[in-house]
Structures are given as structure tokens and as C-alpha cells.
Structure 1
Amino acid sequence: MSDTPISEMSFEAAMKELETVVGQLERGDVELEASIKLYERGAELKKHCETKLKEAEEKVAAITLDGEGNPAALKPVEGL
């Protein structure tokens, strides 16, 4: 488990750690207290990944295409 604050993680780093957390929980070889901490960390990582994906989707949706199908301009997205 990384010591990096989740808010500072890239999407890829958070997904990689989330996969590790899920793997540890699925194996069931972690003590109860550690399992609870892993579960909490996993929930935070999942939320962070969902937020990052939403931000990316909003950025992609803000791209407008010109008549030839090429990106013409970026429209500002509220809240970003």
C-alpha cells in the first residue's frame, strides 16, 4: 500500500493500487484490522478514480469539431 495521498495520485497509479488492494482482500490472508483499513483505502481509491474519469469525460465532451471532423476549439466546462 502506497503512502502517497490519494488526492495526489494519477488515475493510473490509483487503479494499480486499487487492483492490489482488491487482490489482497480476495485472498483473505489479511488480518481483520488490516482488512478494514484496506477496504477503506480501496473505497477512497475507487472514488478518486471515478472523479478522474468524470473529469476526463467532461474535457472530451467539451471538444467541438469543425465541419471536417477536426477539433476546432475547447469550450470551457463549468467547474474545471
Structure 2
Amino acid sequence: MADSVEVVSAQYVAERWEQWCGDTAWSRAMREWAALGGKVIWWGGVPRSASAIPLCFVLIDATGSKMPGNSRLKDIQAAVAARKI
């Protein structure tokens, strides 16, 4: 996944983040998104810096729709919470 744009599983993204940064709020939120059937449009070449991670993805819900405003941890958490209702 060098410098391409791909739709991948949120689980895959969570696992990659854990390889780079360990168990973080970001990876836990992405795992929750994966459990709800969510996917991610992910740009390869994500830097190791946890603060740079949010700039590199777009959430896709289980219906295939892009989620608005999802570049922050609280946006992932809000998307997860909205799907659990």
C-alpha cells in the first residue's frame, strides 16, 4: 500500500496502527468501527507519529457511504456511537 488510495478493512488499519504505536485510543476506536462493518479509505505511507495518523483515512460505513468529518479520534468515536444506537 505504498502511495495508493485503497478501501481496506478497519481491522487492518487498527492492526497497522498497533504495529507502529502500540495499543492506543485510535486503534481501539478503529477496531470498534471494524466490528460494526466499517471500512476505511486509507492512504498508504502513514507516518509513525500518532498525531499524523488522523490525516490519512476516511471512514466508510457498512452501507458504503463516506462518513463526514472523520479525521479526529472523537469523530471515529461519534461514528461508532451513532451506529450502536
Quickly name the TM-score band, shorter chain normalised. 0.3 to 0.5
Rg bigger for which structure? 1
Under a length normalisation based on structure 1, what TM-score does the superposition of the two structures give?
Answer: 0.34
Which structure carries more relative contact order (alpha carbon 8 Å, separation 6+)? 2
TM-score by length of 2: 0.33
Greater helix share, 1 or 2? 1
